[in-house]
Structure 1
């Protein structure tokens, strides 16, 4: 990370573009394995696998910075609860009772949720140019989800899964805002390792209850292993690392704007891997989202809350 220290904003923005790409794949996987892997099992074993992957790299930093972790463990626990434990577990649970398009629609409201919470909790005001960017990007997102017709948007139906997804978005919004307020002075890899470890520990008893009394778990096979590996590495380790770095360097509200890219990436992935048609509204909506991102990120960024890499 040292060679990127001179360009932390460039690295942050690259990571924030990749995060919705990985999350779009996460939504596709969640819908694809809904009949093979129970949502709580998918969430738990995703993080167990992620922890096993990251631990050899992060354990040294955890030992070296243990004194700081011991003094701030409660902060990491709170952040892990809203992110690792809650967000994806709720998303996977929502995927069992609602459609992918509804998940994309609700997930894309993260920028609005984060901007509101950043104002309420941090007093972070949205500039006029940023407000314009939010409006333009929101229009692009609705264009993609509505497939270019108002009737499709009006005709969307909502279910219990949608309410669960709203809760997931709220959880991620709280995490994004608190990430700056409850910043912990440790290296990024150390923080991510502890975030995953504590979040998985909180999720473990929830998984055990579900395993014993409800879902009964799943069978590890050639069908179920690849999705687990994907959600552990890409929307798990990499997306969380990129998001943490982006929020700490450019702020929660600006970082959240990149979530408008999720339905665009989802449409492209469906086109590439599922053979679904890529319509004009995907291209037009994606263009509007990029314009909105340009408006939102053109102002001087918020000063980082803490140093994240050395």
Structure 2
């Protein structure tokens, strides 16, 4: 079996790269503004896609043109929208709240897959979801579950929830993507993501918060353009293609766990007991859910 045909390796690699993106974002603070980073990331990714898939894109242009509105909506909601809402939510809410709300994406995906495709949710999948959510909550609260009693919800939580709903809808919709090859399809999404990010970076300039990248930021932009922006997106599409959106969505819960591992390795952050507990719970929940796959 080729590595590209193993959904577990594909999705594990995807979430590891996404976690690296979170670490890169923290490293970019003070070196480039968030929306500038978003826009330049898609500049780099689009340049790669034009070089890799330009000829195929031209060959499949009739199909792409026929599905232009669908591709536009997917690019805005799945790529630009989620990231923008994530950055904006951070201005109003706490990291604890954001971690817990982001952990709800797999549940949203399973429910969306049921509503859109009547994909049945098994009992073991539900148990797996609960176990992974416990892992995410343990990680988000740093093992102090009593913090849940004191959580206060605000505008940032609502923005984060909307962003998660959008990414869940994107994941579910990937199952019914048009009959377009993955690379030309992704090139179209990348173009939409770049275009739709321009008003956001324009707003940074208008408010005086735009920050051009320094040399460190340029290295970070190169990383996020190639791996999170290019490789991970194609891998995730492949994962959805192999096992469907409901099961693939559950793997999103690995992102904060990978980040908890990469943080200490790269940024020197603390790796505490609750990181280990969360890792065991998330991996165990995924294993339980996969044992009840359909």
Give TM-score, length-normalised by structure 1. 0.86
1:195 maps to which residue?
A: 189
Q: Could you tell which deviates more after superposition, 96-105 or 234-243?
A: 96-105
> Greater helix percent: which structure?
2
Report the Cα distance in structure 2 between the residues aligned to 1:164 and 1:34, rounded to whole angstroms. 21
Q: Secondary structure at the match of 1:224?
A: helix
Residue 48 of structure 1, CA deviation: 1.1
Paired with 1:62 and 1:216, the residues of 2 have a C-alpha distance of 36
Q: Residue 128 of structure 1 aligns with which residue?
A: 123
Q: 2:81 aligns with which of 73, 82, 86?
A: 86
Task: Tell me if 1:280 matches 2:273.
Answer: yes
Say whether the 8 Å CA contact 1:106–1:166 is kept in structure 2: yes
CA contact (8 A) 1:42 1:228 kept: yes
Query: Does the aligned pair in 2 maintain the 1:108–1:262 contact within 8 Å?
Result: no
Deviations 1:248-284 (A, max 9, x none): 2211111111111122111111221232232222222
**1:264 aligned onto 2:257:** yes
Aligned pairs, number: 294
| CA-CA distance at 1:185 after TM superposition | 1.1
The separation in 2 between residues aligned to 1:250 and 1:71, in whole angstroms, is 27
State how far apart, in whole Å, the 2-side matches of 1:128 and 1:122 are.
18
Displacement of 1:22 after TM fit? 2.1
1:236 and 2:229 equivalent?
yes
SS at match of 1:251: helix
Deviation at 1:293, TM superposition (A): 0.9
Aligned to 1:308: none
| Distance in 2 between residues matched to 1:49 and 1:191, nearest whole Å | 17
Q: Deviations over 1:202-245 (max 9, x none)?
A: 2223433x144224522231132122222222221122111111
C-alpha separation in 1, matches of 2:165 and 2:118? 18
SS of 2:121's equivalent in the other structure is coil
For structure 1, the residue ranges without an aligned partner over 5 or more in a row are: 302-310
**TM-score normalised over the length of structure 2:** 0.90
Residue 236 and residue 80 in structure 1: after superposition, are their counterparts in 2 closer, same or farther (change >3 A)? Answer: same
